[in-house]
């Protein structure tokens, strides 16, 4: 994607989700006799159940359960899109056209068949309604070739599109039903209230009740044409992390999604703990704008910081399951750098680089959101450790934490001298990380203007149009190698994603976009 106006909003949404504290008081409804009920505790970031408007983490969990997309992923594997409502897809040799054949026999919750017209309406609505997820289909023309064939055409090569289509925001809605309730393909659409109270999709679950601050209750779709879900009812509750731990330990819930590494330590043997590195990458940056700082644009200063950080020490703080980030693309996604390419601390090299910079005992300000936690990990101890690391190099770091809204303002407007932030994938494709290049969204936030580094920019342009997994993997790896060599960004860690489940729950796999597919969960 060339531009992404909604990125800041998405980041804010993710930040608030991870920092949220829920009521913890919402109770699951009593299970019907013989019915199986699953209770999931999470920290809500939820605004809507309308797939054309949702882009918050909790909303994507709900959307994945209630709507189906043309393509999906197999479990937590995001390296290859697989069929869903489309039985097959083909990317043209020039990467501009994706052709999809619809699966026969798929039906909406009211029993009506899913048609090519439903697909065209649904995707056009997302693109043209100008909601948060509209950027996913920027510049993509959606057309019906025949009753069972859809084409998606981009003006430039767009090999990321098959990886974008699984996003629950691109769920296919029953166009006839939605239109009767105010749905259109423009910003005048008025279907959100209706879609918050019912399900106009084809997913294995339906919405029984929906409250953005307390809980969402899903019930099994009796007319689901696919494999029936194991649970008759799923209750997703808004609960702060400390209470999540208590609830799952005493059996009041069966799944806890937002526990830190410290919180999952010493869990009872009757609980299952899934620890894996998340797809969030925490990074440090040095602003390249001379108007913001006379210190941080110095290339040797950036080198001193890169060599001066104790990456192993940061991993200790992050806890079990976390990994070092060799580049800005996380390990789960095509094009990620290998662990052997991760930076290592070189204190003497850092001191030498600082001496070569011509700067004498520089002092810089490091800004970060004070109350934000990413996968249960607070930014404060990370900032303090970086401060101590760089003091050994000869760099004084003044810590300047701020509430997330204030910090985000400074970050988005490129006013932070140094910043500590994170990036989570909008979709699991390496093209989502082109935003780190000069002149792009995150590059601009670091004061890195277009034209600042032709070598890096050319590598990004080459990666953006590469077609085929092998060529793309190499192109994005090359881009990150060059970005690490001369860019203002210092990738630090991928914190651990810790999910705790009762022993009775089976089939859970962490997914970097929708966290967990509740329809995949089984019961012993």
Q: Identify any residues that bridge with 206 across adjacent strands, giving them in sequence order.
A: 219
Closest CA to 425 of 73, 102, 66, 150: 73
Residues 14 and 408: their CA atoms lie apart, in Å, by 12
Is the per-residue pLDDT at 23 higher than 70?
A: no
Q: Are 244 and 21 in contact (CB under 8 A)?
A: no
Q: Which residue shows structure tokens 């989570």?
A: 424
Quick one: what percent of the chain has pLDDT higher than 90?
A: 84
Domain 7-274+498-523 architecture? 3-Layer(aba) Sandwich (3.40)
Residues forming CATH 3.10.105.10 domain(s) in the chain: 281-494
Number of Cβ within a 10 Å radius of residue 179: 16
Residues 192 and 202: their CA atoms lie apart, in Å, by 17
Residues 475 and 481: their CA atoms lie apart, in Å, by 10
Number of Cβ within a 10 Å radius of residue 517: 20
- The pairing of strands 418-423 and 323-324 is unpaired
Alpha-helical segments (H) within 238-346 = 241-250, 261-264, 299-308, 311-318
Q: Looking at per-residue confidence, does 319 or 36 come out higher?
A: 36
Is the per-residue pLDDT at 7 higher than 50?
A: no
Look at the chain and count its residues: 524
Residues 450 and 203: their CA atoms lie apart, in Å, by 43
- The pairing of strands 149-154 and 140-146 is antiparallel
Residues forming CATH 3.40.190.10 domain(s) in the chain: 7-274+498-523
Residues 357 and 233: their CA atoms lie apart, in Å, by 62
Q: If you average pLDDT over residues 215-230, what whole number do you get?
A: 96
Q: How confident is the model at residue 1 (pLDDT cuts 50, 70, 90)?
A: very low
Domain 281-494 architecture? Roll (3.10)
Chain CA centroid to CA 277, Å? 13
Q: Are 440 and 483 in contact (CB under 8 A)?
A: no
The predicted model scores a pTM of 0.85
Quick one: what percent of the chain has pLDDT higher than 70?
A: 93
Q: Which helix (H) or strand (E) holds 363?
A: strand 363-369
Q: pLDDT at position 266, please?
A: 87
**425 is written with which tokens?**
């994938």
**264 is written with which tokens?**
């999952």
Q: How confident is the model at residue 35 (pLDDT cuts 50, 70, 90)?
A: low
Is the per-residue pLDDT at 366 higher than 60?
A: yes
Q: How confident is the model at residue 10 (pLDDT cuts 50, 70, 90)?
A: very low
Q: Which residues contact 493 (CB under 8 A, 6 or more apart)?
A: 281, 282, 311, 314, 315, 318, 322, 323, 324, 325
Model pLDDT for residues 71-121, shown as the tens digit of each residue: 999 999 998 999 999 999 999 999 999 999 999 999 999 999 999 999 999
Number of Cβ within a 10 Å radius of residue 294: 11
Q: If you average pLDDT over residues 44-62, what whole number do you get?
A: 92
Of the CA atoms within 13 Å of residue 499, those in its CB half-sphere come to 24
Q: pLDDT at position 179, please?
A: 97
Is the per-residue pLDDT at 207 higher than 80?
A: yes
DSSP-based three-state secondary structure for 208: strand
Is the per-residue pLDDT at 43 higher than 60?
A: yes
Q: What's the first-to-final CA gap in the chain, in angstroms?
A: 44
Q: What is the mean pLDDT of the chain?
A: 92
- Give whole-number Cα distances, 103 to 116, 164, 359, in Å: 10, 19, 64
Q: If you average pLDDT over residues 132-142, what whole number do you get?
A: 95
Model pLDDT for residues 367-399, shown as the tens digit of each residue: 999 887 788 788 999 999 999 999 999 999 999
Chain CA centroid to CA 149, Å? 30
Q: If you average pLDDT over residues 131-159, what whole number do you get?
A: 95
- The pairing of strands 396-402 and 363-369 is parallel
Residues 334 and 79: their CA atoms lie apart, in Å, by 6
Q: Looking at per-residue confidence, does 296 or 24 come out higher?
A: 296
Residues 137 and 31: their CA atoms lie apart, in Å, by 41
**225 is written with which tokens?**
């044409």
């Amino acid at each position: 994607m060339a531009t992404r106006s909604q990125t800041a909003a998405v980041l804010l949404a993710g930040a608030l989700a991870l920092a949220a504290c829920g009521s913890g008081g919402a109770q699951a409804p009593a299970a019907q006799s013989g019915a199986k009920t699953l209770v999931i505790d999470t920290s809500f970031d939820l605004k809507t159940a309308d797939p054309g408007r949702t882009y918050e983490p909790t909303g994507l969990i709900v959307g994945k359960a209630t709507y189906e997309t043309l393509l999906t992923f197999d479990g937590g594997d995001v390296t290859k899109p697989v069929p869903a409502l489309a039985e097959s897809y083909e990317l043209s040799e020039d990467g501009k056209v994706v052709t999809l054949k619809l699966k026969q026999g798929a039906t909406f919750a009211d029993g009506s068949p899913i048609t090519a017209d439903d697909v065209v309406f649904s995707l056009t609505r997302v693109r043209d309604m100008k909601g948060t997820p509209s950027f996913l289909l920027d510049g993509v023309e959606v057309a019906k070739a025949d009753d069972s064939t859809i084409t998606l055409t981009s003006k430039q090569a767009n090999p990321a599109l098959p990886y974008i289509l699984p996003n629950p925001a691109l769920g296919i809605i029953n166009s006839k039903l939605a239109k009767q309730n105010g749905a259109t393909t423009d910003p005048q659409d008025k279907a959100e209230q209706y879609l918050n109270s019912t399900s106009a999709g084809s997913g294995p679950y339906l919405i029984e009740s929906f409250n953005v601050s307390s809980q969402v209750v899903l019930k099994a779709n009796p007319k689901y044409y696919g494999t029936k879900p194991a649970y008759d009812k799923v209750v997703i509750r808004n609960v702060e992390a400390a209470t999540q731990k208590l609830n799952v330990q005493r059996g009041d819930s069966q799944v806890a999604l937002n526990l830190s590494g410290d919180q999952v330590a010493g869990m009872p043997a009757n609980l299952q703990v899934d620890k894996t590195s998340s797809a969030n990458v925490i990074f440090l940056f040095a602003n390249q704008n001379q108007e913001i700082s006379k210190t941080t644009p110095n290339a040797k200063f950036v080198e001193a910081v890169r060599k001066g950080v104790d990456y192993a020490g940061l991993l200790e703080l992050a806890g079990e399951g976390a990994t070092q980030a060799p580049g800005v693309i996380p390990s789960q996604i095509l094009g990620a750098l290998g662990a052997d390419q991760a930076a290592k601390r070189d204190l003497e090299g850092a001191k030498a680089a600082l001496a070569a910079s011509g700067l004498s005992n520089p002092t810089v300000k490091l800004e970060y959101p004070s109350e934000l936690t990413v996968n249960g990990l607070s930014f404060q101890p990370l900032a303090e450790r970086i401060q101590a690391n760089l003091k050994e190099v000869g760099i004084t770091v003044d810590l300047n934490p701020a509430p997330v809204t204030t910090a985000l303002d400074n970050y988005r407007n490129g006013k932070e001298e140094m910043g500590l932030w994170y990036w989570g994938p909008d979709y699991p494709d390496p093209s989502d990380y082109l935003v780190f290049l000069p002149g792009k969204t995150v590059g601009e936030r670091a004061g890195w203007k277009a034209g600042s580094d032709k070598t890096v920019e050319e590598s990004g342009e080459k990666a953006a149009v590469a077609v085929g997994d092998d060529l793309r993997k190499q192109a994005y790896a090359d881009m990150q190698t060059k970005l690490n060599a001369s860019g203002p960004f210092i990738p630090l860690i991928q914190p651990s994603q810790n999910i705790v489940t009762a022993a009775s729950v089976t089939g859970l796999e962490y997914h970097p976009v929708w966290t967990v597919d509740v329809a995949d969960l089984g019961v012993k």
